[in-house]
Amino acid sequence: MEEKTNVMRMFDRKKLPYKSYSYPPTETRGEEVAKLVGLDPASVFKTLVTVGASRAHYVFVIPVCRELDLKKAARAAGEKSIEMVKAKELLPLTGYVHGGCSPVGMKKFFTTFVDESAQNFAQIAFSGGKLGRQVQTSPAALAELIPYSFADLTA
């Protein structure tokens, strides 16, 4: 029986469907994770935490095989500019370590944007809240847990 992460418990609490995947918990790149769990890399998403010129924080969920376009991200958030938070700030800010950051279950909710390409998939996968864990669910089920907007976010 696999150990549940907080992300999985949140899905369970709301009785939302999801599938979980485990892989050796090493600092692997997103495309490698997709291969390890047997999913199309275009349907596997990474969670990026940023800070805007206003000092507000934003979460961007984009395909692992793409890069966040900071100009598009700033436009989506209505900011002059946006930059990535430093790795050392991630854990105190979100409760998650680098590589295990999930858009679900952060210490505090931040305005969240999901790349519009997620709309092309019945199911998308993202971090289950710790290294070595992924969860897969529908964009609609994700919206039941966290409010987000779709946006064009990648270069």
CATH number at residue 108: 3.90.960.10
Domain carrying residue 131? 6-147
- Measured from the Cβ of residue 17, the count of other Cβ atoms closer than 10 Å reads 10
- Residue 1 maps to a domain: no
Amino acid at the residue 128:
G
Per-residue pLDDT tens digits for 88-125: 999 999 999 988 999 999 999 999 999 999 999 999 99
Burial (CB < 10 A; 0-12, 13-18, 19+), residue 4, is middle
- Residue 56 maps to a domain: yes
Nearest alpha carbon to residue 96 among 110, 81, 82, 83: 110
- Residue 51 maps to a domain: yes
- Measured from the Cβ of residue 117, the count of other Cβ atoms closer than 10 Å reads 18
Per-residue pLDDT tens digits for 35-53: 888 999 999 999 999 999 9
Burial (CB < 10 A; 0-12, 13-18, 19+), residue 114, is buried
- On whether the CB atoms of residues 127 and 47 are closer than 8 A, the answer is yes
| Counted domains in the chain | 1
- Residue 155 maps to a domain: no
- Residue 121 maps to a domain: yes
- Residue 29 maps to a domain: yes
The pTM assigned to this predicted structure is 0.95
- Residue 11 maps to a domain: yes
